[in-house]
Amino acid sequence: MKRRPFLIALGSVLTSCKLALGNAVDRQLRVTLKNAHKGTLDIDTQLLDSYGPPPADRRQFYLDARKVFSENPNADFTNQAIVDAAKRHRLHLMSGPMLGDLHSDSVSIWLRPATTQTCSIAIDGKTFDGQVDQAGEALRIPITGLAPNTGYEYQLRVGDQMTAEGSFTTAPLNNATDTVRIAFGSCCHKIGVHNLNLFRQIVGRHPHAMMLLGDIAVDDREGNIAMHRADYQLRDVSNAWRELSSQVPLYASWDDHDYFNNDLSGVPKRFTAADRDGVRSVWHENWNNPPANDQRDGIYFNTRIGPIEIIMLDTRSCRQNSRRNRYGSYLGEAQQAWLKNTLQNSNAPFKIISSGTMWSDYVSNAKDSWGSWDTEAREEIFQLIEQEKLSGVLLVCGDRHGARGFRIPRPSGFAFYEFEPATLGGVSGPAGLVKDCPDQLFGYSGTDDKGNDFIAFGEFTFDMAADDPTVTFRLIGQHGDVLEEIPLALSVLTPA
């Protein structure tokens, strides 16, 4: 990967600073997941301060905005009291910048200005402008005309005020032989969003992008859309989150806790289709995923990063609860058809397909896996990949706290590989190792043998230079230790 000399020097300086700060960063306040799910003002404030609070003006803005959201179920970010709070604390940005939608010649930068002044992004001698009609609206500014696989720095101004800066590396060309690195993981919850150790490790490894596979920032807000927004504002004032999102393009899908509550899907009891639409809408407001080219239901999408097709599924909101165990009940028939079409039309050597919950049936008696919901539809996808010899398919997932890897053997002799680093929040769950499971590659619980939080993320490194390109999976701890390393050749991931 090409890096500019300035970025390399900057990385060395940051590394020195991180080492100096390490002991202080390690002294985070322990907040259990059970308490984090409660989402009270006291718990949310403890989380905000857990690794060292943000600057006083940003911290107080969050508290003021949260009060509005908690008292007014119809409040959104354009609410005058929230806009006034941002002005009172002299903030030009409520949220952002957040990178996303990366290509070989472009990237999208998402932000939420607290003003209608022009927002300008300076990069490589060029300036790209954007402006909202109403303060508090989300804004995406496309940055175009970039060179492939090249490191860039950018500066963001709101009006005449320098407000933020960041860096990123563009994707290589689709047919290039460059190395590509994709980080991924799930189950941050609101705990992991503030983890400076973890996010600095991710940034320091210079991935082209990161896939967030669910249970990221919102915890069990059910149909209270205003409190969904409050949780996103908590994310956006976090020091750690701002460091990650301004330097690594993010691709996000949800799982149950982002959606309504534990194990809920489709249109849950006590809720309506309008409630589901409201949750989908607030999701789209607060992420920088590639835009879909149709008016589909759900939050699923696909995109290309060099030689890799990214396919992120909506495995929550399209489920049909009344039809469980019938074809199409897990993804919905429209998303199932879209997935088949996307796979058949992809010419990318490698394809990463995400599921919020597990593909395999090995953990927790498969209580919420794809196979337990809709065996027929999952089998249809597996058979399609085998029959059409679709190359380089990697399965990733989350939900079951802990980190695990599995082979999913097929009657044909082929095997799929599934990786589940659901450890971004260090939350314990089922045992890491499944009893009597010869197809398990590794397993870690949410806590280590000493009772400490086990916090790690996944990483795929794609080496395209060889005749038989390879992808290497690594499980990397929050302090940089490589816990697992599994190389896989493209030929191994392609049905014979």
The tens digit of pLDDT for each residue in 426-471 reads: 888 889 999 999 999 999 997 777 777 899 999 999 999 999 999 9
Express each pLDDT in 347-396 by its tens digit.
999 999 999 999 998 887 778 888 889 999 999 999 999 999 999 999 99
pLDDT exceeds 90 at position 214: yes
Question: pLDDT confidence of 2, banded at 50, 70, 90?
Answer: very low
Element (H, E) at 163: strand 161-169
Residue 455's pLDDT is 94
SS3 state at 265: coil
For the full predicted model, state whether its pTM sits above 0.75. Answer: yes
DSSP state of 447: B
Question: Which token pair is 235?
Answer: 């994310």
Express each pLDDT in 392-433 by its tens digit.
999 999 999 999 999 999 999 999 999 999 999 988 888 999
Percent of the chain with pLDDT over 70: 94
Phi and psi torsions of 320, nearest 5°: -120, 95
What is the CATH code of the structural domain delimited by 172-489? 3.60.21.70
pLDDT exceeds 50 at position 243: yes
Question: Which token pair is 212?
Answer: 């967030």
Q: Contact, 86 vs 114, CB < 8 A?
A: yes
Express each pLDDT in 247-296 by its tens digit.
999 999 999 999 999 999 999 999 999 999 999 999 999 999 999 878 88
Residue 383's pLDDT is 98
Question: pLDDT confidence of 13, banded at 50, 70, 90?
Answer: very low
CA nearest neighbour of 385 among 339, 334, 354: 339
H helices present in 286-374, as ranges = 333-345, 370-373
Angle at 126 between CA 122 and CA 129, to 5 degrees: 60
Residue 30's pLDDT is 65
Residue 18's pLDDT is 40
Residue 365's pLDDT is 78
pLDDT exceeds 90 at position 29: no
Among 31-45, 185-199, 397-411, name the one with the lowest average pLDDT.
31-45
